[in-house]
């Protein structure tokens, strides 16, 4: 029998477990539910053992972030499919079945995400995933339903099943063998964009990453770091550079990386002038650390290119999201030129 395991990575998230774990249990009948704890100090494990004894608990050896937390936990899970599920997500009835069936029918589909809606504003998409993840030619990620900070209202426009570039780590269904074959999540990313990096490799392996709008969940978002937190800014910009460097072909890195760096510097100045000086400094620090980490990323790049072909991927948006958003004034995915 095909087995699916829902794995929730937890770090000091006892309040989220109290609030959202009951819905996961209620609507995941017949599937294994696991909480992987990243060395919490808020009595999360004791709470689970007392109130949810039916839940399997994996205690990681230490807290090394989202990426390594899942890598360590999933190495101990024997299942055909994993669902990486954030602790701050409310699932809905029948959230598993449409995606489970999709994976069972099409063996070329490696990863799938559901529709991600905002828990606090339930008529709108949520930032982290929305209607499926895309990426532009300079490595800027965006979503169907979310361009930068402009988020669409859900009016059924993304109730489809659609191939995308990346599936959000907030609620990620993935074949277990592909997760491990792709190398899993890069531990050096720590958090943010690690699922995009993995999905890039999955695309390069020739598999499909999909969005399934027949399933939906509600995400609080910002459960670990607020969007205005300088550490979040730092991780997004550093990992964004690493993402581009690790996965693009050599000529694309040579041509596109300098443009990306220049645009990031402009973003840093904007942060300093309008959105918080510390966030501007975080962007600059991200660039400094990216340079120091080049030898490590170069080794990863060489390994990746030996395993996966550096092919041109049709699911990459060939335009520039920065140009479309800030110059053309595009605010909706459907208004992009070649979406």
Q: Are 22 and 116 found together in one domain?
A: yes
User: CB-based burial of residue 142 (10 Å sphere; 0-12 exposed, 13-18 middle, 19+ buried)?
Assistant: buried
Retrieve residue 162's tokens. 């659609």
In the predicted model, what is the mean pLDDT of the chain? 93
Name the stretches of the chain with pLDDT < 70: 1-2, 222-227, 309-312, 338-339
- Residues 202 and 301 reside in one and the same domain: no
DSSP string of 123-150, one letter each residue: TBB-TTTTT-EEEBTTS-EEETTEETTE
pLDDT digits (tens, 9 = 90+) for 176-219: 999 999 999 999 998 889 999 999 999 999 999 999 999 999 99
Is residue 44 assigned to a domain? yes
Do 152 and 110 lie in one domain? The reply is yes
Summarised one tens digit per residue, pLDDT across range 307-324 is 776 666 778 999 999 999
Count CB-CB contacts under 10 A for residue 334: 11
Domain residues for 235? 230-308
Q: Do residues 149 and 243 both lie within one domain?
A: no
185 and 106 housed in the same domain: yes
Work out how many domains the chain is built from and give that number: 2
The confidence score (pLDDT) of residue 223 equals: 53
What per-residue confidence (pLDDT) applies to 310? Answer: 60
**Do the domain assignments include residue 20?**
yes
Closest C-alpha to 73, from 214, 227, 188, 180: 180
Residue 205 falls inside a structural domain = yes
If asked whether residues 214 and 271 sit together in one domain, one would say: no
Q: Is 276 exposed, middle or buried (0-12, 13-18, 19+ CB in 10 A)?
A: middle
pLDDT of residue 221: 85
187 and 55 in a single domain? The answer is yes
Question: What CATH code is carried by the domain that includes residue 213?
Answer: 3.90.550.10
Q: Quote the pLDDT of residue 75.
A: 96
Asked if the structure places residue 313 within a domain, the reply is no
pTM for the model stands at 0.93
One domain, residues 17 and 91: yes
d(CA 51, CA 263): 50
Would 332 be classed as within a structural domain?
no
Q: Note the pLDDT of residue 304.
A: 80
At 152 the pLDDT is: 97
Whether 93 and 204 map to the same domain: the answer is yes
């Amino acid at each position: 029998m095909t087995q699916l395991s829902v794995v929730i990575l937890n770090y000091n998230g006892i309040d989220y477990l109290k609030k959202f774990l009951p819905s996961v249990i209620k609507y995941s009948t017949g599937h294994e539910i696991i909480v992987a704890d990243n060395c919490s100090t808020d009595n999360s494990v004791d709470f689970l053992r007392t109130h949810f004894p039916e839940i399997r608990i994996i205690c990681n050896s230490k807290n090394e972030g989202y990426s390594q937390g899942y890598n360590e936990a999933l190495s101990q899970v024997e299942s055909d499919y994993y669902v990486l599920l954030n602790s701050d997500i409310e699932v809905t009835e029948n959230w598993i079945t449409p995606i489970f069936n999709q994976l069972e029918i099409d063996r070329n589909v490696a990863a799938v995400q559901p529709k991600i809606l905002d828990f606090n504003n339930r008529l709108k998409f949520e930032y982290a995933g929305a209607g499926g993840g895309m990426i532009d030619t300079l490595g800027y990620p965006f979503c169907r339903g979310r361009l930068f900070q402009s988020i669409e209202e859900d009016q059924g426009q993304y109730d489809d099943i659609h191939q995308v570039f990346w599936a959000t780590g907030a609620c990620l269904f993935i074949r277990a063998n592909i997760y491990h074959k792709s190398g899993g999540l890069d531990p050096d990313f720590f958090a943010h964009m690690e699922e995009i990096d993995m999905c890039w490799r999955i695309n390069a392996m020739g598999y499909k990453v999909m969005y399934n709008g027949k399933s939906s969940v509600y995400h609080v978002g910002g459960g670990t770091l607020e969007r205005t937190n300088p550490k979040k800014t730092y991780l997004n910009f550093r990992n964004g550079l690493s993402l581009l460097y690790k996965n693009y072909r050599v000529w694309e890195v040579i041509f596109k990386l300098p443009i990306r760096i220049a645009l990031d510097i402009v973003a840093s100045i904007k942060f300093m002038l309008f959105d918080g000086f510390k966030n501007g400094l975080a962007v600059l620090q991200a660039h400094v650390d990216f340079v120091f980490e080049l030898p490590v990323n170069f080794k990863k790049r060489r390994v990746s290119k030996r395993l996966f072909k550096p092919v041109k991927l049709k699911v990459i948006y060939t335009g520039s999201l920065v140009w479309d958003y800030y110059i053309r004034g595009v605010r909706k995915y459907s208004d992009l030129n070649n979406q």
